[in-house]
Amino acid sequence: MKIAALFISLLLFAGAAEARQPDMIQFEDGEPVAMQDGYAYLLIRENVAVNFVFVRALGADEWKAIADEFKQDRDYRPPSNVVEIMGRDSYAKAGDERTYVLAVKPGTYILGEQSFGYNGACLCMGSVKFEAKAGVVTDLGTLLFANNDRPTTIPELANIVQQKVLSDDLPWIAMALRPATETTPDPLKGLPRVLADYHAVNKFPNYFGAFADRLAPVPGILGYDAEGNVLDLRTGGPADSVVPH
């Protein structure tokens, strides 16, 4: 990777305290969702209330514009390209499950980081990406979290937990993704809905400065070999890179 590209990346992927885009909308408490021009809509569920960060991948034109600005002004700070679910601001609740609805800038988004109190983790060792198109609700399915110091009944995490414990009182939070299906309940009935088309994402720098972790394998989409290399199970080859080389 070019040094300039890495430096710009570090600016773009600021910490979660600066993660929310000014034009991001998080809908709360079942409020009406009226679609607006220029927005893509995300629907996602969590088994517990967790703050979560999505990273929007930048196109070549955006990279060039940022690089040009930086050449002119070394103090230039580009707009953030990350958006954050605030776990406390759910759209709906059902038992332990929380549902979230966001309006964001259209583009390709990567599952980037989760935070659970003071225990957060960057998915920089393996993750997935999806396309969020304007004018539709992209259903991302369910993010699943479990403490890594005890057994879990979550099938996607049953073989993942009990592997990494940071200290006696700070267990690692393992994370999995359960993609939505056509039969997954839709709280936004009446709005155009598509299922997220996930693709594996290769390792990327730990922009967040959090604990380095990876998303649990997703059948048919994301896997790992014995050396920890990220595999795109849709193609059978290595996963895509998310930063320019």
In this predicted structure, what is the pLDDT of residue 181?
96
pLDDT at res. 165? 53
| Model pLDDT, residue 167 | 52
Residue 171 pLDDT: 54
pTM summary value: 0.84
Return the closest-CA partner of residue 231 out of 221, 244, 243: 221
Distances (CA, A) of 68 to 21, 61, 92, 119, 244: 22, 11, 43, 37, 16
Position 13 scores a pLDDT of: 45
Q: Helices (DSSP H) in 32-126: which residue ranges?
A: 60-72
- Rounded to 10 degrees, the C-alpha dihedral 98/154/84/120 comes to 130
Give me 93's structure tokens: 């609740």
The pLDDT score that the predictor gives to residue 62 is 73
Which residue stretches of the chain have pLDDT < 50? 1-21, 244-245
What's the rounded Cα separation, in Å, for the pair 71 and 27?
38
- CA dihedral over 126, 55, 118, 92, signed as positive or negative: negative
Query: Residue 8: its pLDDT value, please?
Result: 41
pLDDT of residue 208: 77
